[in-house]
Amino acid sequence: MLTRAALKNPYAVFAICMIALVLGGVSYQKMRVDIFPEIKIPSILVTTFYRGMSPSEMEGAITLKLEQRFVEASYVEHIESQSLAGMSYIKVFFQPEYSIDSAQSELTSLAFSIIRQLPPGVYPPSVYKFGVSSLPIGLLSVSSDTLGPKEIRDLAYFNIRSQIATIPGISFGPPLGGKVRQITVFMDPSRMMARGVSPSDVVKAINSQSAIIPAGDIKIGDLDYYVYSNSLIDAVDKINDIPIKVVNGTPILVRDIGTAADSAAIQTSIVRVNGREATYIPITRQEGANTLEVTDGIRAKLPKLTEIPAGTTVKFLYDQSLYIRQAIANLQKEGLLGAGLAGLMIFLFLRSIKAALVVALAIPLSLTAALVALYLTGQSVNIMTLGGLALVIGTLLDNNIVVQENLHRHLEMGKDGRSAAEDSAIELTLPILVATICILIVYLPIMFFSGIIKYLFVPLAMTVAFAMLADYAVSMTVTPVVLSRLYHRGHGSGSQEEADQKDWFRFVLAVYEPLLRAGVRFKAVVILLALLALLGTGALLLPRLHSEFFPKVDAGNFTMIVSAPEGSRIEKTTAIVADIEKLVQETIPKQDLEEVISNTGLYFGDAARFAPNTGNHTAFVLVNLMTGHEGNTEDYVNAMREKLRHELPGVEVSFQTGGIISDVLNFGLRAPIDIQVKGPRLDLIRPVAEEIQQKIAQVPNTVDVRIKQGKSYPELHIDVDRTKAAYYGITQDRVIVDVITGISSNIALSPNFWIDPKTANGYYLLAQYPEQSLTKTEDLLNIPIIGARTLLNPTSSLTSAGSGGSIVALQNTPFAGRNLDLSNGFYAADERRGPPVLLRDVATLNMKTGPDSVDHYDLSRLINVLVTPVGNDLGHVAKDIERVLATVTLPKDVTIQLKGEVANMRSAFNNFALALPLAVLLIYLVMVGLFRSFIDPLIILVAVPLGWIGTILILHFTDTSVNVESMIGTLMMMGIVVSNSILLVDFANRMVHAGASAERAVLEAGKRRIRPILMTALATILGLLPLALGFGEGNETMVPLARAVVGGLAVSTVMTLLVVPVMHALVLRRRVQPIQPPAGPETAEEI
């Protein structure tokens, strides 16, 4: 029906083809470009901050309370959390069917419903969508020869961010690095003690004497006046004149106890770019935005930035779009190269440029039609969709090859071009439809996948499906129309060109026909050999294959996670990082090294979510290589690992490779293998984790075995004696507030703000001691709490009113043994002053150690043992690790789980364990319905397991792992193999129905179908050969897929031409009685 309609209206066919080409080009230009399809795993990140609170305190006071409320949310899959110093991060993962917008709204409501239960002064929780789009696609670096760290940070935060915010699709966080400007009253402890002033007095004074208070307006006469006041101090120096209190008629000013200065907060994060201190803004993209458009927008915006001081440089670093562009470009190039090789092969077989061009028409028409469909379904251009297009390029020629071959057979019968084209296409309608459906149906089980592989491979399956459906339409319409025009006069018994073609191909037939005859004669031997080959390959080689979740890629960068001894000051950690940077420059040649970016310390605020650091003792160093670098990234990593082991033995350094590919697939996890030890208490699970670490370090092919959480971060515990404090007329919270204010300012308790009149930018106005005044524990103990006394009679509770007390009473008080004049008591806040009260008078200091991070998984405490496997055999390493874990004795309520990439791999393999047999079953059932036979589909499917022989062989000899890509290739190979078998079985069945014997039918079918089968197989193999060879950056992801198809198809083609006819002959012989051949030679045409 389709063919007849096309032949009746060739102009409509031409118009539709042109529409497809034009719309395909437009669709390609409009489609979003990224490295992977959109991965929509609904997950939400909730961040909460409370400066100065330790990890253990954050866990109990904030993190756990929020987690306990979040379990009430709908469709929660699991909850992860991390409590750091002053920061709480909670990731809530939802079931895939739940809307991310609904999840964000629900968690926001739950978080703010308990805000009153959180400690006073806590920052309100921030609720973000967390996913692939949250990962940085680049870093916008700001450095200067003329500006200091404070000015550079201000430039990045207030100026540059506001200018790039208009770029479509861009998202970013606060800048990392530099120094945060603040106005600070630096208090002098000795001057404060002398004047009886406490830190709380200073804070109260500056907060009450400099405040943002609107005065409104007033109508006087005929005019309306805006009213301004000097409630907010407009110059930093004027803060020194703020009165704190008045004693004996003399005011005590800020300048009397310290100095107000335009300064910076104590630096907790240091960023260096190529050895030079800088600031960078982490750049991300909004959900659904085009990565390339965002990065192009940034590069276009940089020359247009205004108000950039002389000597200041703004650069876009760590541009992940470069890798994406390279990967996409290489896939396009190798797809075109594969198409050219397939076309050349078609020409060599057909020996006709016209015939080759007719066959090749299927490629542009099918691909552009697929692009239109992808655009309409909201897909993007990525390595999976482009990989799908490259995968089917050779397959797209199959149907057209078969149609053209069949047309020549009809022409040789003496038919005219139109009749031959129509009869040829109609005759092949069912076989081609079945073959197309079989190729499509192998991808149907992917719809039942779960997790990240569903989001990766559904777009690939859709791409293949769209292209194959378009190809079916082309082979049933366009190809017959074009061929009918080319051969409108027919060619009788065949042209000279056809004769030459037959002469060329007769050498192949001369080899094939005797082999097939021998196979038909010795059926048992052929079947036995095929069975032995399958069993032998499966038994000997399959267990030796390496396995991993996703093929490793050389993304041109690697990251070093650095951990100095716990408690190291940021200055010491920065010095260690500088040594590492020098080693990088010594190891990597200049022509390969583009930039080295380091981030040391823990930034306080939202920007910390863009760095893996957990304290001032941690850092990460990002090494970016030149595009087209000569050296291998893995080689550089191994060299650095050896150097660091000898040069910095006390520093723990682990490596991450894979760039954006690894970040996306692992969702930001630090290592492929994450051994999670969970339990109710840290003191229970810590020894277990340490035992596991020691044992795993001995497992072969493992490196960077480390525990994620530290345990020995130094802590100072201030134990206030509440009774002593009460005798002095102060409370425990007053003591702690004064201590906190002195050492880390009043930012967490009662912050104030100052607005710069020149720029209108707001900054914190705080009070604290100078950092250099607190260098030892004695300085901390000497912090003044109050400088004079409140009315205090320590014996009033033990004697009658008005009594001065007794010696016995004093022995039970903090004043025992002191010669005190108690007749009038002690007073504070007036002219009567007594000796100062220091922290040491009411508290003691205890030195302890604790964790630098407290992590949870589903509200249970968690310690992670991270492991990096060597090479591409994650599966065998995981099995070795599990054998070690089986020897670990676990306390009650302590559990161990393997997470990370190994868990994703096993989940994917379980999905494929269902997909492969399901695909075979579906193919069988489809063919049963179309062939109306239960036996013929089984004969066709014989080639499928035989194709696995080739897949196993090529994976083994090329040292390619079994991964999700090679398994998808195996699925694709199954569909192609079945389509080739269908050609043989269908042709033989037609001959039997016409009266031929079983042996004659299979021999003639093999002779007639060997050329189209070889052509289709070679077209697919050559189309994928550039990808299978693995040349070009970014193609590593598709190499296993291409190799699985090439290896499986190469072997299965031979098996299809030899084993399938033999099996079919065996079945046909039992199904029908052989018919005596006529006196003359029997041919397919006579039948």
Specify the DSSP element, H or E, that contains 774: none
Residue 623, phi-psi category: left (phi > 0), alpha (psi -120 to 50), beta (remainder):
beta
Positive/negative CA dihedral, 298, 300, 303, 305: negative
Is the pTM value of this prediction over 0.75? yes
Query: Tokens for 366?
Result: 């099918």
d(CA 482, CA 494): 19
Q: Give the CA count within 13 Å in the CB-facing half-sphere of 151.
A: 12
pLDDT level of residue 489 (50, 70, 90 thresholds)? low
How many other CB atoms are there within 10 angstroms of residue 517's CB atom?
Answer: 13
How many CB atoms sit inside 10 A of residue 495's CB? 14
Output the pLDDT for position 501: 46
Choose the weakest-confidence range: 473-482, 879-888, 1020-1029, 1073-1082: 1073-1082
Domain 2-34+324-549+906-1071 has CATH 1.20.1640.10: yes
Residue range 443-452: average pLDDT? 81
> What is the second-level CATH architecture of the domain 181-264+715-791+826-849?
2-Layer Sandwich (3.30)
CB count within 10 Å of CB 844 equals: 12
User: Rounded to an integer, what distance in angstroms lies between the CA atom of residue 344 and that of residue 746?
Assistant: 76
pLDDT at 660 over 80: no
Q: How many contiguous H segments (helices) and E segments (strands) does the chain have?
A: 36, 31
pLDDT at 970 over 80: yes
pLDDT given for residue 506 in this prediction:
77
Question: What would the two tokens of residue 606 be?
Answer: 């939202």
pLDDT exceeds cutoff 90 at 1019: no
CA distance 489 to 391: 37
Half-sphere exposure of 996 (CA within 13 A, CB side): 23
Q: Which two tokens stand for residue 779?
A: 């300085």
Work out the pLDDT band at 1072, boundaries 50, 70, 90: low
**Region for 730 from its dihedrals, namely left if φ exceeds 0, alpha if ψ lies in -120 to 50, beta otherwise:** beta
Confidence of residue 802 (pLDDT cuts 50, 70, 90): very low
pLDDT value at 499 more than 90? no
Mean pLDDT of 843-850: 91
The Cα–Cα gap between 1067 and 984 comes to 14
Highest average pLDDT, of 181-195, 340-354, 386-400, 980-994, comes from: 181-195
pLDDT in tens, 262-302: 999 988 889 999 989 999 999 998 887 888 899 999 999 99
CA 392/CA 366 separation, integer angstroms: 10
Q: How many CA atoms lie within 13 A of 685 on its CB side?
A: 26
345-366 burial, b if ≥16 CB within 10 A, otherwise e? bbbebbbbeebbebbbbbbbbb
DSSP state at residue 59: I
Residue 246 CA to residue 503 CA, distance in Å, equals 116
Return the top range by mean pLDDT from 481-495, 745-759, 997-1011: 745-759
Q: Domain limits of the chain?
A: 2-34+324-549+906-1071, 42-130, 181-264+715-791+826-849, 556-657
Whole-number Å distance between alpha carbons of 131 and 523:
57
* Mean pLDDT across the chain: 84
At 116-130, the pLDDT tens digits run 899 887 888 999 988
State what percent of residues in the chain have pLDDT above 90: 38
Of 796-800, 855-859, 944-948, the range with the highest mean pLDDT is 855-859
What is the C-alpha separation between 634 and 558, in angstroms, rounded?
A: 9
**pLDDT by residue (tens digit) across 501-542?**
455 677 888 888 888 888 888 888 988 998 999 999 989 999
Confidence of residue 1084 (pLDDT cuts 50, 70, 90): very low
When pLDDT is averaged across residues 602-614 and rounded to a whole number, the result is 84
Burial pattern 226-253, b for ≥16 Cβ within 10 A else e, equals: eeeeeebbeebeebbebebbebeeeebb
The domain 42-130: what is its CATH number? Answer: 3.30.70.1430
pLDDT of residue 1034: 63
Place of tokens 């009165």: 243
Per-residue confidence at 103, pLDDT binned at 50, 70, 90?
very high
Query: Fold match between 2-34+324-549+906-1071 and 181-264+715-791+826-849?
Result: no
Q: Decide: residue 219, CB within 10 A, 0-12 exposed, 13-18 middle, 19+ buried.
A: exposed
Percent pLDDT > 70 in the chain is 92
- Residues 560-603 have pLDDT tens digits of 999 999 999 999 999 999 999 999 999 999 999 999 999 999 88
| Structure tokens given for 75 | 């469709």
Class of domain 556-657: alpha beta
- The distance in angstroms from the start CA to the end CA of the chain is 25
Cβ-based burial of 932 (10 A; exposed 0-12, middle 13-18, buried ≥19) = exposed
User: Exposed, middle or buried by CB within 10 Å (0-12, 13-18, 19+), for 765?
Assistant: buried
- Helix (H) or strand (E) holding 441, with range, is helix 417-441
Q: Which residues pair with 139 in a beta bridge?
A: 282, 317
Q: What is the pLDDT of residue 814?
A: 45
Of 390, 499, 602, nearest in space to 1037 by CA: 390
